[in-house]
């Protein structure tokens, strides 16, 4: 979710994070849904069920993330983003991830002081498969293609996630 969100926002610099994690269902072997259920596992899970983060961005923006897996919810996975801006907003919802999701995209805006909301067609995407395909193409492309992937973006993401876990553990905002 962090990757998608920061990409959609144009890769703003993260200034600080305040996060919380919960491990209530998975460690008991409970939760999930009909497709992916902690109760159907052969062991209890040692990862959090749910995490939320409030992230301060350079320029005054904020990002609020919520992610969970072992919860009592709809059977189909839901991936959704809502962006609130000064000139408009957008809402993207994809139901059925990690299978081939079918999404809906709504744009909220105005023109000449009147509502000008619209819904462009949102075609099914490749979801995580696109990331895997890009990685395989980079490896097969040799030094020229692989050299374009320096890993700095992944390092930045890892530092942000580490700060989120530190924030949750220490119950405080962490400045990056």
Domain with 164 in it: what CATH number?
3.30.360.10
**Is residue 38 in a domain?**
yes
- The reply to whether 138 falls in a domain is no
Residues 53, 22 contacting (CB under 8 angstroms): no
Q: Looking at per-residue confidence, does 31 or 104 come out higher?
A: 104
The pTM for the full model equals 0.80
Residue span of the structural domain in which 168 resides: 2-75+158-175
> What integer pLDDT is reported at residue 167 of this predicted model?
98
Give yes or no for residue 67 having a pLDDT over 90. no
Q: Does one domain contain both 30 and 81?
A: no
Q: Are residues 36 and 85 in the same domain?
A: no
Q: Examine the domain organization and report whether 85 and 71 are in the same domain.
A: no
Burial track 83-94 (b if 16+ CB lie within 10 A, e otherwise): beeeeeebebbb
For the segment 78-99, the average pLDDT, to the nearest whole number, is 82
Would you say residue 46 lies in a domain? Answer: yes
How far lies 91's CA from each of 37, 87, 119, 152, in Å? Answer: 28, 14, 10, 29
- Please check whether residues 6 and 70 belong to one and the same domain: yes
Average pLDDT estimate for 124-146: 81
Residue 41 within a domain: yes
Q: Length of the chain in residues, anyone? A: 176
């Amino acid at each position: 979710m962090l990757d998608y969100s920061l990409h959609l926002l144009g890769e703003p610099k993260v200034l600080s994070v305040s996060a919380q994690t919960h491990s209530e269902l998975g460690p008991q072997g409970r939760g999930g849904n009909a497709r992916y259920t902690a109760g159907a596992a052969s062991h209890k899970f040692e990862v959090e069920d749910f995490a939320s983060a409030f992230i301060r961005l350079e320029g005054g923006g904020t990002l609020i993330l919520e992610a969970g897996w072992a919860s009592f919810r709809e059977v189909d996975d839901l991936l959704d983003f809502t962006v609130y801006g000064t000139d408009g907003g957008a809402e993207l919802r994809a139901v059925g991830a990690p299978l081939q999701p079918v999404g809906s995209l709504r744009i909220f805006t105005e023109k000449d002081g009147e509502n000008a909301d619209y819904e462009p067609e949102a075609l099914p995407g490749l979801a995580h498969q696109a990331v895997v395909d890009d990685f395989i193409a980079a490896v097969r492309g040799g030094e020229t293609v692989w050299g374009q992937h320096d890993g700095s973006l992944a390092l930045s993401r890892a530092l942000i996630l580490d700060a989120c876990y530190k924030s949750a553990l220490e119950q405080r905002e962490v400045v990056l």
